[in-house]
Structure formats: structure tokens, C-alpha cells
Structure 1
Amino acid sequence: MADTMPTLWVTGAPGIGKSTVGWGLFEAVASRGGSVAYLDIDQLGLLGPPPGGGDRSHRITTDNLVPLLHGLRRAGVRQTIVSGVVDPERGIDHHLRAGPPLDGVPLDLVRLSCRDDVLRGRFLGRGSSPELLDELQRYARLLDRTGIGEPVDTTDHTPAQTVAGLLGRCLIAAPGAGEVPTGPPPSIPVAGVIGPTAVGKSTAGWHALRTLWQEGRPAAFVDAQQLGFVHPRPSDAFVRAQISILLHGYQRAGATVALLVSRDPVLARPPFGEGAGTLIRLAADPDALARRVESRARGSSALLAGDELRGAPAPTRRAVLDRALREAENLARACPDLPVVDSSRQAAEATAAALLEHLRSSVLALRSLPPRPGTVRLVLNRDRILETAIAQGLDRFSMAGVSRELGVTDMALYRYVGSREELYSLAAARAHATFQFRLEGTDWRAHLVEVAEQTWQLAARHPGIERYLLDGPYHPETLRVFDASIAGFRALAPQFSADQAYVLLSRVVSFTLAAADNALSRRWQPDPGEPSALFRWTVEALVDGMVGRLDDLPTDPSARGLGPESAISPSRS
């Protein structure tokens, strides 16, 4: 064990280049013969439902980091590089004081900075949402104001130049005598997902994890490769020990199940202790593996440290594919009795659903108990996000407003929805599906008027919903409501063909949404929440006029197409 193991922590605002510089430092020390390890702080806080930041989030990552650093030091590692965000208000010292001691591991915290316009360019250049720019600027300014870490201006520097400037802060030394960390195994159940390079383990596992979070199940995610970034290459026993340390940390933080992804079945078979585990093999045919290698090279997957494929030239891509094919053959021979999910011709979501089907019949069924006393139940989920957006108003809510009310960061929401537009569509669909239409008329004309009146009331209760109902794209539940509406109308008016019924009902609803939007925005009615007598007369006149012209109804497909002219889906029979 080394007497001390200096650790350089590279922090800064999201998108500024922390991981790129941190990984560059790891490679630079390793290329010079130094004993070095690399840890991405983001990989140490993958527990959900997401706590949303603040003291809770930073405490989880810090409490997991410290024992992992001790494990590296005991193994004889001489220098560690850490990259990732820190608490912008209190830095790392506050959380270190609240956790286990960090003896023998001196920390050197540097904060990368740059001009605002350069930061925005880097942030958007990595594919991040423009909707997060405001939070990004707030975080960067808070770091500047609190002065956490020693600032390093990277405005006019490439990542390689920044690495060169920081390399002098690193110890370059041969590994010391070391030992594999030991300790009792974790007792939470672990689901291991193994598969060759580029098969989609992390992507499918991440989708499965998000599903568990949306269900409110405290679940953690571990990528074995991310714990094996050590030079010289560590033993399997060491990586297994580090996995066990991280699982213990997640267990203490309240996790009741963990997903573990790995290329190596040895690493995915940690001792399960009092818990239980299962192992699933993810497979794909050679053509699918080749497509995914090319896709990853184009940057389709999340950017992770050590990604050998992103931007790789053709010879590297070919070499990785050859290795992946060998790995697939070896796994099939070594693990013939494992359940297999073939992902060749399906999206990651479908693969995740297949993984969860296996897990629910084994691991997840074993953990239906509530969290142990003293653990914190994490309650952020998609339902709460949708309900909050609806309560704030479909026409007024913002990602910042929703996150503020839920007590989480803006970025926490993006683990559940991809953008404000996606949240709007989901919230509008929820509002529409939960609105109670009470249609009691037995005459088809009266039925159409009731539809119009209650559509008006829906628009009054949820201003902003008209854009979703007029333009789509529609959620499946919305389509079911639309189809049921058409079927209900045809039951009262069997004399109309399917096309005629669709046109009558859809034009009444579209007219109502437009009229309600006009009245509600201008507030020219004494009670805009209720339609006026003139509105009812107009609906009846509209219906009479359309009925009189049904014989020359256009027969081309556009008469029943979705789009701004219609708020009712055509039958999909």
C-alpha cells in the first residue's frame, strides 16, 4: 500500500471538458509509466429515483468515492484522477467532513473555466439541450462566485494543452506493493447483464433503470468497465472488490436492487452475500454488431470515459468489431445456460423491456419491502413531473419552474423527459385522458353539442391543451379516447359512414378548440369557462351545414388526415 496517493479532481461547469481533460491526464500519466487510476464522479451517483442534486446527491457520490479511493491506495496505485461536478456552494470539504475519513489521500481540486460564449458552444457541441443553458450559466457563475477549486482558464486552450498544463500536478511513479481490498459482500440483489462490446448493454440497462425509477423503485447502476480504469491493468479480483465497495455504498444510500453491466462474466458475478442475483446475456448477430460499432463511432451513444469508438478511424472500428465478434463467441461458449436476450432487430427500449421481464421473475420479486429505517425514500418520478406541469399550466410551465417546485435541479428532469416539448405532450395527454367527459344525450345532434361544450370546458380547465389536440403528435391513450369518441357517435348515428362520422365529430371539436382559445385569451365573455348561447347556436349551424353537404364530401385521404385541421384521430381499422 502506498504511503499516500495524491488525487487530482478536475471540476467545472457541465460541458466545459472535465471528463476529456481527466481522461487525458490518465492516459498521459500511464503513457509515462506511472501508476494511475481514473474515476468519473457521475458513475458513482447512479441511484434513483434521482435525488435531484443538492446535499443528498453530492453526499451519495462523496460517500462512494472515499472507500473506492482507499481501495485504490491499498492496491498500490500512486495517483488517481477524478473528474466531475462538485457542490457549487460548498465544494467537497463539507461532504468529506460528513463522511468517512480520507486519510492518506491528499486532494487537489482544480476548476476549469472559460468565457460564457465558449462554454455555451462546448455545451451545445456535445449534444446537450439548449433548454439547459440558463441552468448552466447559473451553475458556472455560482462556481466563480464561491471560488471553489483553483481556477484554470481554458478559453483559448485545446484539451491537450490543458492536460499538458496540469500534468505537472500529477505524481508519476511505479506502483507500490498492494493488496486486494476485502470486506463482506453486499446484501442487495444484483442483476448482471453481460455481452460483447457494442451490443448495447449500457443503453438497454439505462432504459431498464429509468423504468425502475419511474416505478419509484430505488435502483442503482454499475458499469464494471468504469471501475477498471487503472494502469497497470488491475486483476479481476481487484475490480470485483471495487464493484462490491460501490454496491455497499448504494445499499447504504437506500438502493434495493442494482443493475451491473460488463463484458466479462467474471466481473458480473460478484459475491451476492445475503442478497440474490441473476445473470443475463445480451446477444446480437454480426450485422447488428457491425451497425452498432459504426453508430457509436458517429457519436450516437452517451459520451463516457474510455470510449474507444467515438470518432475512431476505420481500422480502429474494424479491430473493435473483430474483438466484439470474438467476445460474443466466447460468451456463448462460456455461459451456455444463461438466459439470452437477442437485441439484433429491436430498439434499446424493447431490449430493456425483455431484460426487465427476466428480472421481475427473479431479482425484483425478492425486494418488495420498504427501505430500511434511516434511508431516504426518493420520490421523483414521471407521474409527479407530469402532475406538476399540469398544475402550473400547460401554457405556462417551464422546466425550471417544475424542477423548483419538486425541489430538484433542472437536469434531474431530463432523466425522465427529453425536452420541454416532450413534457408538454405527455402532460397534455394526461390532462386529456383524465378529463371526465359526461355525454348523456341520446340524440346525435345533442351529442355533438355536448361534445363541443365539454371540449370547451377542457380547454378552460387546461389552457394550452388546444395545441396538442390540434397538432399532435398524439399519445396512444389520446388515440384511444379519440377512437372511443367516434365509436360512441356512430352508435347514436349509424346512418353516417365512418368517414362522415369522423368529419362531423372532428370539425366540431376543432372549431370548439379554436373558439375557446380565442374567448379564453381575450376574456370577452362574462364567464369564459362556460360556452355562450351564441357558441351553441354556431355549433348547431355548423353541424346542419355539414350534414347538408355530406353527399359531396371529398374522398381523398387528406379529408381524414391528422394535422391542424383535425383534433380527432381517424379510425385505424
Structure 2
Amino acid sequence: MYGGSGDPKRSLELLWGVQEEKPKRGPKPRFTVDDIVRVAIAIADAEGLDALSMRRVAGDLGITAMSLYGYVPSKAELIDVLVDRVVGEIEMVEVAGDWRAKLEHVARENWRLNVRHPWLLQVSSSRPVLGPNMIAKYDYELRAVNGIGLTSIEMDLVIGFVTDYAHGAARNAVEAAQVEQRTGATDDQWWEEYSPLLEKVFDAEKYPVAAVVGAEAGAEYGAAVDPSRAFEFGLVRLLDGVAVLVGSKG
């Protein structure tokens, strides 16, 4: 699903509250866009974007779908607003320390945001509709690497791959959490059922490295993967890479 797939003009009006400044005739609206967004976010958080529809949101608000279209033109524009609203949850504090500490905070906040709202992982950001929170987030993140010798393009690219990394790591964490909910089986239960068959077909002599590493990793994690540990490990390596870039400027 793509952000910005609706009418960008209408999305921007909703995001910046422009349409609310226009004079309106008739009775005062029962709801605000924020009321609608709160209901929509609750649905998306609990059930994902597939469950989110104009009819569903309208039903939860106690109005008809036709009435809801008077506030928001379609699901596409509603998603644009949802993304911008939850992006506003990013903790934009002044982090003590150097660029590394600040960039680490950026990565962790993006990881937490995507884990908290898994439906964000279903929304492509290749054409983001720039609402107030999205712009504030971008400016805040750029300040983490401002004044350390990088060009504007390098600053943009660094923030891009840090947030992309956090996005991908969050996807792994979300999938690991959801698999137990969807299957009704814990990792231990799944492996208990799966292991006897694997032992029959897996040839440790043919795949010696996988046999040793896989066994040790599985014993360490108690599962096939440990998303939180993988995120921490990768984040350190990523920041080490940025340090090489920054060091090359000196």
C-alpha cells in the first residue's frame, strides 16, 4: 500500500488543517478529523490495514460511510493522515552526547514506532505526503548529523539508511511477535514438532557450518531468530560505518 496514492491536495489540506479554515454552511460537524484518526489508528493497530475501511471507521463512530466521506475523501487520504499522526509520537528530544548518540536515538525511536504500529510496515514511503509531523521528524533527524562535516546529500543518505535499517529490523520483530498469535504455538512448541523431521532430512556432514552455527544460535536464542538482539548488533555496526564516513572528512 502506498502513501500518497490518493489526492495529494486533499491529503495536504487534511494534514495542515487548511479545509477547516474555510467557511462552512449548515450544522456544526459532529466530529473532527482527529476524532476520525484516533478511531482509524485503533483499528489499524489492532487488526492491520486490511481491516481498515471507511465503512469500518464510520461504524465505529456511529455514522454512515457516506457521512464519513464528508470529512475524509477516501481511505488513501486517511492513511496519509494516519502516518503523519503516528510519526508525531517520535520523541524529539535533545540527546546529550555526540552525533553517534543522537543517531542511535533516531534509530531506536524509528524501531519503536514501527513495532508499536505494525501497519506502518505496510505503507510504502516512496512518495510521502509531507505533513507537519513528517517534516518535523525529518528536520529533527537531520540535526543529529548536522555540523559534522557531511554534505547535504550525505546527511540525507545517512538518515535514510539509518531509518531504513530500523524499519527492516522492526519488520523482523513484528513478524516474530505475530507468528505465535497467528499459529497459536510458541517457538518451543513449533520446534518440538518440527525437529524430529528436520533431524531425518538434515545432513550435518553436507552442511557442517550451518549445523554448528545453527545449533549454537538456536540454543542461544531459544528460537530461530532474536530480533531485538539482531537490531542491537546491527545498529552498532551501522554506526561504526557512519564513523568511517565522518572520519574520512577530517
Normalising by structure 2, what TM-score? 0.61
* 1: CA distance, partners of 2:173 / 2:72: 32
Q: Pairwise mapping of residues 204-353 of structure 1 onto structure 2 (< 5 A)?
A: 214=20, 219-220=25-26, 255=27
Greater per-residue strand proportion: 1
- The one-letter code sitting in structure 2 at the alignment partner of 1:419 is S
The answer on 1:497 being equivalent to 2:151 is: yes
Aligned pairs (5 A) from 1:343-492: 378-393=29-44, 395-396=48-49, 397-438=52-93, 440-468=95-123, 470-477=125-132, 478-486=134-142, 488-491=143-146
Q: Distance in 2 between matches of 1:218 and 1:474?
A: 26
1:217–1:384 distance in 2 versus 1, CA, 3 Å: farther
| Aligned-partner residue type, residue 232 of structure 2 | R
Which of 501, 508, 532 is the matching residue for 2:162?
508
Cα distance in 1 for partners of 2:77, 2:99 equals 36
* 1:399/1:410 contact within 8 Å kept: yes
SS at match of 1:515: helix
Q: Which residue does 2:171 correspond to in 1?
A: 517
Q: Name the aligned partner's letter for residue 65 of structure 2.
A: D
Q: Which has the larger radius of gyration?
A: 1
- What is the aligned partner in structure 1 of residue 191 from structure 2? none
Return the letter of the residue paired with 2:170.
Answer: A
Contact in 1 for aligned 2:89/2:113 (Cα 8 Å): no
Shift in CA distance, 449/433, structure 1 to aligned 2, threshold 3 Å: same
1:415 partner SS = coil
Partner of residue 240 from structure 2, selected from 541, 544, 548? 544
Work out the CA distance in 1 between the residues paired with 2:230 and 2:23: 52
Determine which structure has the larger helix proportion and give its number.
Answer: 2
For residues 18 and 162 of structure 2, the distance between their equivalents in structure 1, rounded to whole angstroms, comes to 41
* Alignment CA distance shift 1:406-1:534 (3 Å): same
Task: Name the CA distance, whole Å, in 1 between partners of 2:29 and 2:156.
Answer: 45
Which aligned pairs between 1:45-194 and structure 2 lie closer than 5 A?
Answer: none
Relative to the length of structure 1, the TM-score reads: 0.29
Kindly provide the amino acid, as one letter, of the partner of residue 75 in structure 2. R
Letter in 1 for 2:149: Q
Query: Per chain length, whose mean CA-contact separation is higher, i.e. which structure has more relative contact order (CA < 8 Å, sep 6+)?
Result: 2
Change beyond 3 A, Cα 1:448–1:401 = same
Compared with structure 1, are the counterparts of its residues 498 and 215 closer, same or farther at alpha carbon in structure 2 (3 Å cutoff)? closer
Q: How many pairs were matched up?
A: 182
**Residues 1:484 and 1:549: Cα distance change in structure 2 (over 3 Å):** closer
The secondary structure found in structure 2 opposite 1:435 is coil
Partner of 2:185: none
Query: Sequence identity, in percent?
Result: 25
For structure 2, the 5+ residue unaligned runs are 1-12, 180-220
**Distance (whole Å) between structure 2 residues aligned to residue 416 and residue 378 of structure 1:** 9
Deviating above 3 A after TM superposition, structure 1's stretches of 4 or more consecutive aligned residues are 211-218, 466-470, 546-552
Looking at structure 1, the residues matched to 35 and 22 of structure 2 have their Cα atoms a distance apart, in angstroms, of 11
Q: Which amino acid aligns with 2:169?
A: A
Q: Contact (CA 8 Å) 2:121, 2:171: kept in 1 or not? A: yes
Give a deviation string over 1:72-94, Cα, whole Å, max 9, x none.
xxxxxxxxxxxxxxxxxxxxxxx
- Separation (CA, whole Å) in 1 of partners of 2:61 and 2:55: 10
Distance 1:514 1:470, change over 3 A: farther
> Is this contact kept in 1: 2:114–2:120, CA < 8 A?
yes
Letter of the 1:520 counterpart: V
The answer as to whether partners of 2:103 and 2:141 remain within 8 angstroms in 1 is no
Q: 2: CA distance between counterparts of 1:436 and 1:216?
A: 32
Offset at residue 547 of structure 1 (A): 4.4
Superimposed CA distance per residue, residues 494-547 of structure 1 (whole angstroms, 9 cap, x where no aligned partner): 222222222222101111111101220232799xxxx72431221121232354
8 Å CA contact retained: 1:489, 1:501: no
